[in-house]
Amino acid sequence: MKTHYYLGWFNNFFPENLGRVLQGDITDRKSIAMISSNPSIYENDGATERSWLDQAGIMFDEYHLINYRLQKEEAQTIIQNVSVIFLLGGDILKLNSFLKEYELSDLIKKSSAVVLGASAGAINMSAKWLCSKNFGDKVEMNSVYDGIGLDNFSVLSHFDLENNMGLVQSELSLLSEEIDIYASNKDCALRVKGDKIDVIGNVYLLSHSKIQKLDETL
């Protein structure tokens, strides 16, 4: 049963309920691949996300950081053999480009590993997503990008929803006619296990231009 976690961002550590379910889902701790969203930057990349896992008591025998230091073929081999794949937060467009350049998306989709993504990583895990300067993206025109497509919905992760609900609705209304969009702020998570979707924190569903807050389920 495939398990995917769409994470926001955590100022400190994972909430207790998120740490608990992660502990239960990540039983194979031989190796983790952390895919950089700033693949040209090598120093301390992934340190924050690793600290979340460490604090939750989830440690691995091997840690692999996937960036431009690795050859494409080496990165692909690692992805095919790890227990957990973690798409890191950072630059959403650089991550999208890196996944295409290194041809990692299909390998991630086929993998039986538990897949996690934080912020930019979570957005790129989804089927498609809106790139907009109103969301802080460095673009002039709005564009819809294809993500990995682990699940057939879109994600807006780590965005100040409470103070920008009108903006979120107006920007995402058109896309929401085509595909469901899950929007979350910091300290939130969406967990997809098989056909079941679980919610941690303040997560909203935007579907056919209507937005509703979802109840926490974990």
Q: What is the pLDDT, as a whole number, of residue 117?
A: 98
Q: What is the pLDDT, as a whole number, of residue 178?
A: 97
Judged by phi (left if over 0) then psi (alpha if -120 to 50, else beta), residue 82 lies in beta
Q: What is the pLDDT, as a whole number, of residue 186?
A: 84
Ranges of residues in the chain with a pLDDT under 50 are: none
Q: What is the pLDDT, as a whole number, of residue 62?
A: 97
Query: Where are the domains positioned within the chain?
Result: 3-213
The tokens of 19 are what?
Answer: 């740490």
pLDDT digits (tens, 9 = 90+) for 14-37: 999 999 999 999 999 999 999 999
Beta strands in the chain (DSSP E): 3-7, 31-35, 62-66, 84-87, 114-118, 128-131, 143-146, 154-156, 181-184, 189-193, 196-200, 203-207, 210-213
Q: What is the pLDDT, as a whole number, of residue 185?
A: 83
Q: What is the pLDDT, as a whole number, of residue 170?
A: 87
Q: What is the pLDDT, as a whole number, of residue 213?
A: 94
What's the whole-model pTM score? 0.96
What's the fold here for domain 3-213? Rossmann fold (3.40.50)
Q: What is the pLDDT, as a whole number, of residue 78?
A: 98
